[in-house]
A = this chain, B = another copy of it.
Amino acid sequence: MIPLLFQLSLPPSIVPPDVVQQAATLRDLALSRTGAIEIVQSLTDGVGPRLSGSEGAQAARAWALSTLASLGFQNVHAEAVVEPRWERGVEEAEILSPRQRLVVTALGGSPPTPPGGLQGKVVGVADLESLRVLLAGDPAAVRGRIVFFTERMERTRDGSGYGRAVAMRSQGAKAVSAAGGLAVLIRSVGTSSSRLPHTGAMQTDGPVVPAAAVSAPDADLLERLLPRGISVRLSLGCRVRPDAPSANIVGELKGTGEEVVLLGAHLDSWDLGQGALDDGAGVGIILDAARILRSSSHPLRRTVRVVLFANEENGSRGGQGYALAHAAEAPVHASALEMDLGADPVYGFASLTGPEGRAATDAIFELLKPLGVTERAEGGESGADVSPLIPLGVPMLSLRQDASRYFDFHHSADDTLDKIDPRNMQQAVAAVVAVTAVVADMPGTLGRVPPQKPRSE
């Protein structure tokens, strides 16, 4: 670590008044527009779902290349990556007695059941820890059984309930496989009470059993019936196919200098919905923000690079591929910011920079306050696609969006355009514009992020 006194003696990165003034002007211009919803609509109506390796993902790349060009971006190109390909197929489940259909959806990466399905008694556990406790008492407790994880995701503004509940989705199928279980059902990781299950990735870096998410009302039913001793039949026709060629799609607003300010979102989506919120909204927000930055009175000092990442949902190959391909160029990355939490308003700002970034991020926070942004944090989260740049020293800027409603729709068939409030989304555009207008045009820098423990996303 650099000694504290030396850190304090660094000249603070002052943001000149004309840069602040221009950022405020562009921020307010963003609020007066409705451009982001048009971009999301173009993507969701014209392409729709775009799961990695699918025809939709290919159509989305073509859409992105053409859209970036038509929006006036420069240096529009694709940067090849390879991504996993997993297909859903049939998904059916029922309780055998009393005979009741269960609405389920396979977790991404799940292996199929045998043809005709599998059948087993159901053991209910709250979460991974409860499973561990159960197995400690009886190592054979779930052998030949279907394990049902019942944990309920808590609705919170910061989305922290997701991080807590998602462990059963990520690791349940490995844990149950290790214990000799037959299959996994989880209560959907989501906050809606609708009869639509929420998919999502599961870890497949080891033996796993077939795994599916159950809609909330069906999870309620299963939980009520557990004391009766019930059996379930589960049929999943999903398939893992060979990896498929894909690409991150990149475009730039050229700056006068060498440095780059990265704005990211991910182009892929799950297959059930239309990926309007996840992450069509992020795509719409950053593209509209970058478009508005073109209205600046002069060319910015730094290049604004938009990156539409491949395969965020089930592999992160796009984010990892970008970091690998651009490792040598990492020192010219002045900052990175990713939008991937829907379309609701920004209420907080977090930054992970070198110590000399403090004055600039303070100035940015002042610019965000008129938008209703009230919370300020150091360090903190960054998107899954840009976090591989942290070990390379790239400063991270994060805009925290209100996630109270996001997990009602996230990863479900309900992720559709109507769930977006265009005015709310435009506030997020204005926030991205304010942040980027400062970091792309200020004379000083945010420094470099010191080495730290790798993040577990």
Contact = CB atoms under 8 A, between A and B. Distances in A.
B98 A46 contact: yes
Contacts of A220: 416-418
B193 A419 contact: yes
A274 B100 CA distance: 9
Copies in the complex: 2
A55 B217 CA distance: 22
Nearest to A225: B45
A417 B217 contact: yes
B48 A216 contact: no
A455 interface: no
A41 B224 contact: yes
A225 B41 CA distance: 11
B99 A48 contact: yes
B195 A273 contact: yes
A414 B99 contact: no
Contacts of A419: 193, 217
Most buried by B among A46, A194, A196, A273: A194
A14 interface: no
A412 B419 CA distance: 19
B45 A195 contact: no
A413 to B, nearest CB: 4
B195 A414 contact: yes
A413 B103 contact: yes
Interface in A234-266: none
Contacts of A325: none
A47 interface: yes
Interface string A166-202: 0000000000000000000000000001111000000
A164 interface: no
Contact of A413 (B100, B195, B273, B418): B195
A278 to B, nearest CB: 14
A221 interface: yes
A98 B47 contact: yes
A38 to B, nearest CB: 12
Contacts of A49: 101
Given A194-B196, A195-B196, A414-B195, A48 B224 contact: no
Interface in A27-63: 41, 45-49, 55, 59
B45 A418 contact: no
Contact of A195 (B47, B101, B224, B416): B416
Interface string A379-397: 0000000000000000000
A419 B45 CA distance: 31
Contact of A217 (B59, B100, B193, B418): B418
Contacts of A101: 48-49
A224 B45 contact: yes
B45 A221 contact: yes
A348 B83 CA distance: 60
Most buried by B among A47, A49, A217, A417: A217
B48 A100 contact: yes
A216 B418 CA distance: 9
A419 to B, nearest CB: 7
A417 B221 contact: yes
A34 to B, nearest CB: 15
Contacts of A196: 194-196
Nearest to A48: B100
Contacts of A45: 98, 100, 221, 224-225
Interface in A263-288: 273-274
Contacts of A46: 98
30 contacts: A41-B224, A45-B100, A45-B225, A46-B98, A48-B99, A48-B100, A48-B101, A49-B101, A55-B99, A59-B98, A100-B274, A103-B413, A193-B419, A194-B194, A194-B414, A195-B273, A195-B412, A195-B413, A195-B414, A195-B416, A196-B196, A216-B418, A217-B414, A217-B416, A217-B417, A217-B418, A217-B419, A220-B416, A220-B417, A220-B418
The 5 closest A-B pairs by CB, nearest first: A217-B416, A195-B413, A48-B100, A195-B414, A194-B194
